[in-house]
Amino acid sequence: MPPAVVTKDLRRSWDEREAVRGISLEVQEGEIFGLLGPNGAGKTTTLSMISTRIRPTSGDAWVFGKHVVKDVHAARRLLNVAPQEEALYPTLTGAENLDFWARIYGVPRSERPARIERALAAVELGSRRDDRVETYSGGMRRRLNLGCALVSEPRLVLLDEPTVGVDPQSRVHVFEAVRNLRAQGITILYTTHYLAEAEELCDRIAIMDEGRLVALGTTAELLACSSASEVVELRLGGPTERLPLLERMPEVERAEQHGSIVRLFTRRAEPLLARICGQGILDQPIVQVGVSPVSLETVFIELTGKELRD
Ligand X SMILES: Nc1ncnc2c1ncn2[C@@H]1O[C@H](COP(=O)(O)OP(=O)(O)O)[C@@H](O)[C@H]1O
User: Residues in the site for ligand X, rule: CB under 6 A?
Assistant: 14, 19, 37, 39-45
Stretch that binds Mg ion, among 11-19, 40-48, 169-177, 216-224 (CB under 5 A): 40-48
Minimum CB separation of residue 62 from Mg ion in Å reads 22
By the rule CB under 5 A, 48 interacts with Mg ion: no
Among ligand X, Mg ion, none, the one that 41 touches (CB under a kind-dependent 5 to 8 A) is ligand X
Minimum CB separation of residue 39 from ligand X in Å reads 4
Minimum CB separation of residue 41 from ligand X in Å reads 4
Among Mg ion, ligand X, none, the one that 162 touches (CB under a kind-dependent 5 to 8 A) is none
Nearer to ligand X, 12 or 143 (CB): 12
Nearer to ligand X, 43 or 204 (CB): 43
By the rule CB under 5 A, 44 interacts with Mg ion: yes
Q: Which residue is nearest to Mg ion (CB)?
A: 44
Nearer to ligand X, 14 or 89 (CB): 14
Minimum CB separation of residue 49 from ligand X in Å reads 10
Q: What whole-number distance in Å separates Cα of residue 186 and Cα of residue 155?
A: 5
Nearer to Mg ion, 43 or 143 (CB): 43
Helix 138-150 crosses helix 94-104 at what angle (to 10 degrees)?
Answer: 30
Minimum CB separation of residue 117 from Mg ion in Å reads 32
Q: Which residues, 6 or more positions from 283, have their beta carbon under 8 angstroms from its beta carbon?
A: 240, 241, 242
Minimum CB separation of residue 12 from Mg ion in Å reads 13
Minimum CB separation of residue 39 from Mg ion in Å reads 7
Nearer to ligand X, 40 or 90 (CB): 40
- Cα first-last separation, the chain: 39
Among ligand X, Mg ion, none, the one that 45 touches (CB under a kind-dependent 5 to 8 A) is ligand X
Nearer to ligand X, 37 or 139 (CB): 37
Nearer to ligand X, 39 or 227 (CB): 39
By the rule CB under 5 A, 45 interacts with Mg ion: no
- The answer to whether 178 touches 190, Cβ cutoff 8 Å, is yes
